[in-house]
Amino acid sequence: MRRREWLEDAIKKDSAYRVSEVVEEGASFFEAAKAMGLEGIMAKQRSGTYQPGRRSDSWLKIKARQTVECTIIGYTKGKGDRQLGFGALHLAQVSGAGLKYVGKVGTGFDEGLLRSVFAELEKLTTIKRPVKEKPLDDARSVWVEPKLVCEVEYASLTPDGLLREPVFIRLRPDLIR
């Protein structure tokens, strides 16, 4: 708190810099940040000391995560320990009469989940890319009929509507298209 007081005194009122506000109601502040679609908040223990050049346990990055249902439209071919399966799933959302590409997800899978999702993908017919957007890894991708739906957790959307930091949660067999 003493360092904060020094900063408040040192930073001029018309400066491009400012000291962040102190918020006592962290839970309410976090909910407001989520409602605004922000990535999250930073929290610090009042008694925490400043440790130049080091990360401290006194600081916490609290991320706001959202979930969304996405249609699986394809996958990238696996490499390395995923060679017998897929690397990431290509995702889309219904947009009017078509589908809009929203990115891909490659995390959130354990070995069993990878196998079970890949088994479901192998049951689908391969098709031409069902979205107009062409991902960078289009050449290493397998496109499938858009029948499977999954739930994905993400931090936010990029300006062009792609999921930022997506994590696979589960298949949604109750929402099959």
- Sequential DSSP letters for 103-172: EEE--S--HHHHHHHHHHHHTSPB-S-SSS---TTGGGEEEB-S--EEEEEESEE-TTSPEES-EEEEE-
For the segment 125-153, the average pLDDT, to the nearest whole number, is 95
Q: Give the pLDDT confidence of 7-25 residue by residue, as tens digits.
A: 888 998 888 888 888 888 8
**CA-CA distance, 146 to 138, in Å (whole number)?**
16
**Which are the contacts of 60, defined by CB distance < 8 A and separation ≥ 6?**
42, 43, 44
> Residue 87: its pLDDT value, please?
94
Segments of the chain assigned to CATH 3.30.1490: 2-63
User: Residue 142: pLDDT band by 50, 70, 90 thresholds?
Assistant: very high
Which whole-number Å values give the CA distances from 150 to 14, 16, 109, 116, 172, in the listed order? Answer: 49, 44, 12, 13, 5
Query: Could you give the CA distance from residue 56 to residue 73 in angstroms, rounded to a whole number?
Result: 42
C-alpha span between 166 and 105 (Å, rounded): 6
pLDDT tens, 62-72? 888 889 999 99
Count of CB atoms situated within 10 Å of the CB of 174: 6
Question: Is beta strand 167-171 parallel, antiparallel or unpaired with respect to 149-154?
Answer: antiparallel
What's the CATH code, domain 66-175? Answer: 2.40.50.140
pLDDT tier, 28 (very low <50, low <70, confident <90, very high otherwise): very high
Q: Is the pTM of this model over 0.85?
A: no
Which of these CATH numbers, 1.25.40, 3.30.70, 2.60.40, 3.30.1490, describes 2-63? 3.30.1490
Higher pLDDT, 96 or 89: 89
Residues of the chain with CATH 2.40.50.140: 66-175
Average pLDDT over residues 52-69: 86
Q: Around Cβ 85, how many Cβ atoms within 10 Å?
A: 18
